[in-house]
Amino acid sequence: MVTLMGLLHFHLAGHQAIPLVGNATGTIGDPSGRSTERVALDQDVLARNVAGIEAQLERFFARGTEYASTRIADLDPSTLQPVRVLHNADWYRGIGVLEFLGTVGRHARIGAMLARDSVKSRLQTPQGISFTEFSYQLLQAYDFWYLYHHHGCRIQLGGSDQWGNIIAGTDLIHRLPGAQPLPMASRSLDDGDGAFGLTIPLLTTASGEKFGKSAGNAIWLDETRTSPFDIYQFFVKTADSDVERFLKMFTLLPLSRIARVVEEHRDAPENFAAQKLLAAETTELIHGKEGVQQALCATEVLFGSRKSLGLQQFTGHDFASAFIRDPRMVSLDRSAVVGKSIDEIAVLLDSCRSKSEAARLVRGGGLYWNNRPVTDSKWVPEAERGDFVGGGTIGILRTGKTNCRLLRLLDAE
């Protein structure tokens, strides 16, 4: 996401952004930052991954542009160049092994390839490195060469672990002339003089902890992998020592606004003002305004104060959207619930094994309805009396501190 934020900044500044999907190189895998070889993917899995990545990229830039239009003064999204998602298989399909070795391979130097950090670190491991992964840098170099000569791409942007691969690309652009002139309005530089690499440091916390799949703390742009609620919770738990830096990295807020909220947080850290702002901004950037509403709704359901009336601000649609893939939401016909006491509802939702267990929880002050303690196990919630939120369609039953069920009432058609 850090690299995508860098590309988003270029896009918002009026440049042509070209996110590249490696559906050809994905069959090999980049050895950078890895101690073992990647597992080879079959064509069906690779095709699904490519389709998913392309959809995520298009969604990220569409939502990012919408988000930016409300944060950057005088930004007119209609004047921005459309983001161009490309697939490198489109230019590898017509190239044979001999042709590739005779052109790209002829300009590669083994000494430089062996000196890459990604290669040196793997050579020092018992597993070593296969020729397949060793050659990956030539493929990424050719990607840059092709984009430079056919799409006027002057800058390759990547994480800091991509430095060697990016340099391989600028080196190839210097060594291998293009077959046609660059598609630019004007060129005062010779081929190769205008190719640049830009790397962004890998994201770490103030304690030095890395983010990512291998570290077990990755977040996904796909809402089926990381929901808006999980995105929100991930960032709202940011440490005080990281929150100012993350606000600058993951939002498009003016620095003056960030400075004010950081100062507010220093004065009253117990309110988590900076973390809440960071969480809301990043959730909107990734999932849009509706995603923020879903995240806030789920947060209020799961962590809201028992004295709070915050549940009243959300609609039935907000609750349903926030918990659409969550097994804690149980949808039942209204007729199956109306007239039932709270102990019967607890059994119906599998929150309790029996009505007597529900009664014991009530006596011990451990059963809550819409974040309020229930004092009578025979109490009957009624929509007409306002006992259901979300327009009379939602009831939230909590047993203990963490066991929560969201009851959604459905009206018969």
- State the pLDDT confidence band at 201, using cuts at 50, 70 and 90: confident
Q: What pLDDT was estimated at residue 192? A: 44
Dihedral angle over CA of 55, 63, 235, 320, nearest 10: -80
The residue-averaged pLDDT of 24-32 equals 71
- State the pLDDT confidence band at 221, using cuts at 50, 70 and 90: confident
- State the pLDDT confidence band at 131, using cuts at 50, 70 and 90: confident
Q: Are 321 and 294 in contact (CB under 8 A)?
A: yes
- Provide the residue type at 123 as one letter: L
Q: CA-CA distances (angstroms) from residue 299 to 207, 234, 295, 324? A: 27, 12, 6, 14
Residue 38 pLDDT > 70 = no
- State the pLDDT confidence band at 31, using cuts at 50, 70 and 90: low
Residue 388: which of 293, 274, 312 has the closest Cα? 312
The helix (run of H) or strand (run of E) holding residue 198 is strand 196-200
pTM recorded for the entire structure: 0.82
For residue range 375-391, what is the model confidence (pLDDT) as tens digits?
Answer: 999 999 998 999 999 99
Percent of the chain predicted with pLDDT > 70: 89
- State the pLDDT confidence band at 12, using cuts at 50, 70 and 90: very high
The helix (run of H) or strand (run of E) holding residue 263 is helix 255-267
Q: How far apart are CA 276 and CA 268, in angstroms?
A: 13
The helix (run of H) or strand (run of E) holding residue 292 is helix 273-303
Q: Are 183 and 151 in contact (CB under 8 A)?
A: yes
Q: How far apart are CA 109 and CA 141, in angstroms?
A: 13
Q: How far apart are CA 186 and CA 209, in angstroms?
A: 45
Residue 65: which of 17, 134, 127, 3 has the closest Cα? 17
